[in-house]
Amino acid sequence: MVVLSKPGLDQIPLIKNHKPTHFSGIPTIDLSKPDSGELLVEACEEFGFFKVINHGIPMEFMDKLEAEAVKFFSLPQPEKEKAGPANPFGYGNKRIGLNGDMGWIEYLLLQTNAKSVSQTSWAISRENPEIFRSAATDYISAVKKLATEVLEMLAEGLKIQPRNIFSELLKDEESDSVFRINHYPPCPDIQSFRCNLTGFGEHTDPQIISVLRSNNTSGFQISLKDGSWVSVPSDQSSFFVIVGDSMQVLTNGRFKSVRHRVLANSKKSRVSMIYFGAPGLREKIAPLPSLMEEGEESLYREFKWCEYKVSSYKSKLADNRLRLFEK
Ligand code: GA4
């Protein structure tokens, strides 16, 4: 590993420079078209990733929350630290998770329930917590609805019943979904290196489905089936959907949880907001019998979401977390 000398940078892994090819093949699904289910299924099988347009969420929701986030991330460091550490929820800086993963990033991590959103609002702004609280509440409920609609279209595309077989897991009052706002500050120092700096290291998401929205700064990459990395062109008016490990299990490996990462940018700051849709802690995850062909063997043993979560939080970011649950 190449080590950078500037304090703060020295513990962050570098990524060997491969030409960041802008990939034009990301499936784009128009949600206003009624027959998108099959296209969604194809995208989940081939990439574990797709972009949605005509999603019905007003830009105003994104802009309001992003403005609040930018305001918070512009505060002096000691002010921001008051909302931390992210253990696991709150403000985090460079450290990701609890097992030594580092990135050129600062973030806010919160649970999606009203109590957690309210607590975070107080932690990040004592003067006016209500502005953040209402922007975050509106945004989270809109993306949750989007996630459940996509899951229902997926069930339709897979021709399985009931239509809410996946979406009910997120709709559950006790759903363990989380929400993250990431800020990747520009890092001018990296211009002189022939490497990229890690913003968020490669990983898969443990949950069912994640919905990501970012400003127009590039850096997000996905790994294709052949293991190559491609850059996803940013698009601030669309949402990107990421298949998580739990969805891979529910579909007995038919859908693949996509490995993804973020590279730091030398000039522009990147702000992303991600909703991670998860079931309730006691909910059981196992391949759905309705999706199994005759004679098809289950690739994974059944587990409760809390079991997978505990196991995930013990892992390093880049680990293959599902391996421990394979049969
Ligand atoms: C990846 C997806 C979400 O961002 C997250 C992350 C969590 C964290 O940042 O605390 C984890 C990571 C994520 C997977 C493995 C563990 C837990 C960091 C880490 C090393 C909030 C999540 O749920 O899992």
Q: Which atom of ligand 1 is nearest to the CA of 316?
A: 20
CB within 8 Å of 286: residues ≥ 6 apart: 249, 250, 298, 300, 301, 302, 303
Q: Which amino acid is at 128?
A: N
> Is 270 an annotated catalytic residue?
yes
Q: Is the pLDDT of residue 225 over 70?
A: yes
d(CA 276, CA 111): 10
Q: Which atom of ligand 1 is nearest to the CA of 317?
A: 20
Q: 159: closest CA among 262, 297, 41?
A: 41
pLDDT in tens, 113-146: 999 999 999 999 888 999 999 999 999 999 999 9
Q: How far apart are the first and last CA of the chain?
A: 35
pLDDT attached to residue 9: 82
pLDDT attached to residue 92: 97
CA 240 to ligand 1 center in whole angstroms: 18
Q: Is the pLDDT of residue 3 over 80?
A: no
- What is the average pLDDT score of the chain? 94
Exposure of 126 in the CB half-sphere (CA atoms within 13 A): 5
Q: Which of 109, 180, 203, 242 to mutate to test ligand 1, by most ligand atoms within 8 A of the CB atom? A: 203
CA 209 to ligand 1 center in whole angstroms: 13
ipTM above 0.95, yes or no: yes
Q: 186: closest CA among 257, 113, 265, 278?
A: 265
* 231 φ, ψ (degrees, to nearest 5): -85, 135
CA 313 to ligand 1 center in whole angstroms: 7
- Per the CB < 8 A criterion, the answer to whether 326 and 308 are in contact is no
Q: Counting runs of H as helices and runs of E as strands, what totals does the chain give?
A: 8, 15
Q: Which atom of ligand 1 is nearest to the CA of 109?
A: 21
Of all protein residues, whose CA lies closest to atom 10 belonging to ligand 1?
A: 97
Q: Is the pLDDT of residue 303 over 80?
A: yes
Q: Is the pLDDT of residue 201 over 50?
A: yes
Query: pLDDT band at 19, cuts 50/70/90?
Result: low
Mean pLDDT of 278-285: 98
Angle between helices 37-46 and 129-158 in degrees, nearest 10 = 100
Specify which residues 270 forms β-bridges with. 184
The whole-model pTM stands at: 0.96
pLDDT in tens, 156-197: 999 999 999 999 999 999 999 999 999 999 998 888 878 899
Which entry of 163, 270, 321, 323 is annotated as an active-site residue? 270
In 215-287, DSSP assigns E strands to: 220-223, 229-231, 239-243, 260-263, 270-277, 284-285
Long-range CB contacts for residues 309-312, cutoff 8 Å, separation at least 24: 309/176, 309/206, 309/278, 309/281, 312/206
Of all protein residues, whose CA lies closest to atom 5 belonging to ligand 1?
A: 205
pLDDT attached to residue 192: 80
CA 11 to ligand 1 center in whole angstroms: 19
Q: Is the pLDDT of residue 280 over 90?
A: yes
Q: 221: closest CA among 151, 270, 154?
A: 270
